[in-house]
Chain A
Amino acid sequence: MLTFLARRLFVMVPTLILISVLVFVIIQLPPGDFLSTYLNELQAQGEAVDPAKIEFLKRQYGLDQPIYVQYAEWAWGLLHGDLGFSFEYNLPVSDVVGDRLWLSMVLNFSTVIFIYIVSFPIGIYSATRQYSWGDYGFTLLGFLGLAMPNFLFALILLYYANVVFGTSIGGLMDPEFINQGWSFAKIMSVAEHLWAPVVVIGTSGTASMIRRLRANLLDELGKQYVVTAHAKGLSPTKVLFKYPLRMALNPFIADIGNILPQVVSGSVLVSVVMSLPTTGPMLLAALQSQDMYLAGSFLMFLALLTVVGMFISDVLLAWLDPRIRLQGGVSK
């Protein structure tokens, strides 16, 4: 198990390095850089630009260096926790991102937990009472959740949250707390605003998770070992929880790695609509203006989430399933 962990951790290093190269290449792919975009904008506004100033800016930002040097500097900085410098905001990236990162994390983790908490009991119910009214009802709800555009649902929820609960429209907290230090009241305000985006972002994930759990569990319920467990005289609930449910968990856990980045990237649109102070909208803006270090940091953050998610799901799988734990090393 220890060697498995060590090996798994070791593999993450080259993966991340490869991703960082890819990220950098992708950011560099569109023609031009931040300065040329910036210049175009200035010229479009009819302002004259001094060529000497451009040269100075280029040198200052290091944009005159060859690409691999730029990459090396950026990567070296990342290793030291230095995320680089945002051209657009004229601030270090870490200052620009600030609370946004933490708020996105809070939002996204709440969404993941929401998905699991809601889909789990419903999935089990649907599978054990296949073709009952309840099963059909949840199926209908699930398809609604999958089919409804997120932004539309977001608008509806915002409206009702405002009308029924008097929550202020948009954002993750009441306006008076923005740029304030953390306090209990601020946390409460965040909590009050959090549920709407969580529900909006979580519905489609929940719906597909319910379908998956139901299908997995139905497969397992028909297996021979379940009959064996019944033949022992175990009560039906105990049988369900000890045997088929544990088997059905595997794909559930294997999904963690997928669900993390999915939730993060899926929330961009919703964040724009609900004007949430999360990373999504900022990433979009940074990519548009070719603010390379800011965009790069975000993309690396997403990649890190994926890789860590995969690692967690692999470790959990190995811990839960002896077949993976004990047979993992042997291959034909």
Chain B
Amino acid sequence: MTDILRIKDLKVEFVLPHMRVKAVENVSFRIGAQETVALVGESGSGKSTISQAIMGLLPKTAQITKGSIIFADPKKPGTRVDLAMLDRSGAEMRAIRGGRISMIFQEPMSSLSPLHTIGDQICEAVRLHRKVGRAEAKELAVEMLTLIGFPHPKRALKTYPFELSGGLRQRAMIAMAMVCRPALLVADEPTTALDVTIQAQILRLIKDVQKELQMSVLLITHDLGVVANMADRMVVVYDGRVVESGKTDDVFINPGHAYTQSLLAAVPHFDMGPDERLRPLREIKPKTGSLLAESSQQESARETSDVPPSLALHPAMASEPVLSVRHLSKSFTTRKGNWIKSEQHLIPAVADVSLTVNRGECVGLVGESGCGKTTLSKLIMRAMDPDEGSILFRGESGQMTELTGLDEDQLNPYRKRIQFVFQDPFGSLNPRMTVQDIITEPMLIHGVGDAEYRKNMVLELMDLVGLDPRFLSRYPHSFSGGQRQRIGIARALSLKPDLLIFDEPTSALDVSVQAQILNLLKDLQRDLNLTYLFISHNLAVVDYIADRIAVMCAGRIVESAPREQLFRNPLHPYTQALLNAVPFADLEHLLDFDKIVDGKASDPARWPAPFTINDTSAPKMMQFAEDHFVRAERADFTEIAI
């Protein structure tokens, strides 16, 4: 038997005082030597419970009531241990845990203790499982940190986790898990919390280290793109049961189970046709009512009996800009030193950003965390004041109005026209308000309509986002993440805004729910002629929904182009790096791990010549083709264009 781990008929139950809840049932799969097996499923499918059962880390209330987890340590040939039978905190289990089977977790922020140095935490793991002295443990830790690609391994021993970036923290975590050279690594969503370029680096790292240490990997993830690039075999879990398992190639090419098929169909991928749609598990059919279809111009037209008819039918107006941002900049100051002698540092969060959003179009804004995309959205909302630049917005009058410099009262009519949908569906709805109150609130604040109108509007909005109007008296906690996000969308639409800003609206959701929301947004845009600014770190999502895409890095927009053009012909090195780093759920477009370079991609000073941004050169946006702009110096740029 070359299998390292064999799980058979595993059943885990949560034993609560008044009931037993099945978390996982009838789960069987195996992990071969030096093999990578991916455990795929959406949140709540039980994949984490399986990993906890293997590690003996199940919560106190959970019990393994049936089945076995046989671990055959390649270091001790012939021995087989049933992990399901061991005492979870007994000496035997503890020797295996961390020593022979290690685990890395999703959150690099919270999974390391903030009070202990990296060195302390790694050496602790070494000394637990190997009989070595303090100095030797340190050497082993340095050796492992070097292997993991830490820039200064010796110095890293003395740093605290909060002094490191997310990517480095995850590296430290991996070093800690690897330092005892385990036979099996359990990686629970190891890259979900990381940016794409960092994700690609970490994935490459896991692959490299796996080869170097000859170990097996159990990769737990919801991201089929990661699976396609990493796994030899995959196991699909749904509702605590294995619905399909097999070689990754086979499952991707010929998925047998309906759930696997729908999971694959729900992932947005590049080169989708313009009319191709994602297929979520459950489609929402939006129903447009009369109140929403009536545009604000029509409304005012009705009131003043003035000329312009329906807006959607007027081709000349369809392409007019709704929002035009010009050379917008915003810096934050950090203070260092004491209050007698302090140094002020200006950190540019948004620098020289220009962006236009036309009526009826969806502009995607892509960038990694910390690139300033959320700050930009806050500036547009005027939740913050910009240092420089202008924000022109087409208000009710049909004229472009400068928003910067307006005070609160003057801004009020424009607040109504720009609405926002937030990333976190849990934090963005007040838990003490009913759905009815949540959706009505914006209309109350701006004094829109009478009680009768508001009531009808709420009913119509509920229909629109595919929620049962009977839910109106419920509170947010009784809804799932996807449903909450739909409530958030309904709230944003209640004022019939001219511009909707979405800040990562689907990043907290499962793929099938994400597909549902994305389709809903597309349908709404088509039916109501809405205008979107869609902010996301996920290129595939932006590619699916946006007409034009702007790529942002270090506070600047580095490239903007219509969607097909950007993906077919990315010019800026950062865009290229970003595109290279996205793992697609497509076996024909695997990541080229050789092209992934560590940490250089998002540093403007290290971009090659025509693109370099540093103290001496600050290139401006240059037109390359119609609607395709790149931030580069003109002189060199023409050469590249040829």
Q: Could you tell me which A residues sit within 8 Å of B by CB distance?
A: 3, 7, 223-225, 227-236, 242-243, 246-247, 320-323, 326-327, 329-332
Contacts and interface: CB of A to CB of B under 8 A. Distances in A.
B274 to A, nearest CB: 43
15 contacts: A231-B102, A233-B94, A233-B96, A233-B99, A234-B98, A235-B89, A235-B94, A243-B113, A320-B115, A322-B117, A323-B115, A323-B160, A323-B162, A330-B334, A332-B334
B95 interface: yes
B83 to A, nearest CB: 13
Contact of A225 (B110, B128, B332, B335): B110
B98 A322 contact: no
A323 B129 CA distance: 29
A228 B89 contact: no
Interface string B44-77: 0000000000010100000000000000000000
Contacts of B115: 243, 246-247, 320-323
B243 to A, nearest CB: 28
B111 A225 contact: yes
A56 B102 CA distance: 87
Given A229-B113, A233-B99, A234-B128, A329 B162 contact: no
B338 A231 contact: no
A49 to B, nearest CB: 56
A233 B128 contact: yes
A168 B481 CA distance: 69
Nearest to A237: B89
B114 A323 contact: yes
B315 interface: no
A56 B98 CA distance: 85
B332 to A, nearest CB: 7
B103 interface: yes
B579 interface: no
A231 B334 CA distance: 38
Given A228-B105, A326-B163, A233 B95 contact: yes
B57 A232 contact: no
Contacts of B111: 224-225, 227-228
Given A236-B89, A322-B115, A227 B97 contact: no
Contact of A228 (B96, B112, B163): B112
A231 B188 CA distance: 12
Contacts of A246: 115
B78 interface: no
A322 B338 contact: no
Contacts of B336: 329-330
Nearest to B117: A322
B30 to A, nearest CB: 22
Lowest 4 A-B CB distances belong to which pairs?
A: A233-B98, A232-B98, A224-B110, A233-B94
A232 B94 CA distance: 8
B105 A233 contact: no
A329 B98 contact: no
Contact of B338 (A7, A229, A320, A321): A7
Contacts of B98: 231-234
Interface in B83-129: 89, 94-99, 102-103, 105, 107, 110-117, 124-125, 128-129
Given A243-B113, A326-B163, A232 B89 contact: no
Contacts of A242: 116
A328 to B, nearest CB: 10
B105 A234 contact: no
Contacts of B89: 235-236
B97 A233 contact: yes
Contacts of A7: 338
Given A227-B111, A233-B99, A236-B89, 14 more contacts: A223-B110, A224-B110, A228-B113, A231-B57, A232-B98, A233-B96, A233-B128, A234-B98, A246-B115, A323-B114, A326-B160, A329-B336, A330-B336, A332-B333
Interface in B166-203: 173, 176
B160 A227 contact: no
A234 B124 contact: yes
Contacts of A232: 97-98, 124-125, 128, 176
Contact of B57 (A230, A235, A247, A331): A230
A228 B98 CA distance: 9
A234 B103 CA distance: 14
Nearest to B95: A233
Nearest to B160: A322
Contacts of B332: 332
A225 to B, nearest CB: 4
A231 B97 contact: yes
Contacts of A331: 334-335
B212 to A, nearest CB: 21
A301 B31 CA distance: 70
B151 interface: no
A242 B117 CA distance: 13
B398 interface: no
Contacts of A235: 89, 94
Contacts of B338: 3, 7, 329
B337 interface: yes
A225 B97 contact: no
A243 B114 CA distance: 9
Contacts of A323: 114-115, 160, 162
Contact of A227 (B57, B102, B114, B176): B57
Nearest to B102: A231
A172 to B, nearest CB: 41
B301 to A, nearest CB: 48
Contacts of B96: 233
B493 to A, nearest CB: 35
Interface string B583-626: 00000000000000000000000000000000000000000000
Contacts of B113: 225, 228-229, 243, 247
A242 B124 CA distance: 11
Contacts of B110: 223-225
A215 B162 CA distance: 25
Nearest to B176: A232
Contacts of A243: 113, 115-116
Nearest to B109: A224
Contacts of A229: 113
Contacts of A228: 105, 111-113, 173, 176
A220 to B, nearest CB: 10
Contacts of B55: 231
User: Which of B97, B111, B163, B333 is packed against the most chain A CB atoms within 10 Å?
Assistant: B111
Contacts of A234: 94, 98, 124, 128
Contacts of A327: 162
Nearest to A247: B115
A204 B117 CA distance: 37
B261 to A, nearest CB: 34
Contacts of A320: 115
Contacts of B102: 231
A61 to B, nearest CB: 42
A330 B335 contact: yes
B116 to A, nearest CB: 8
Nearest to B55: A231
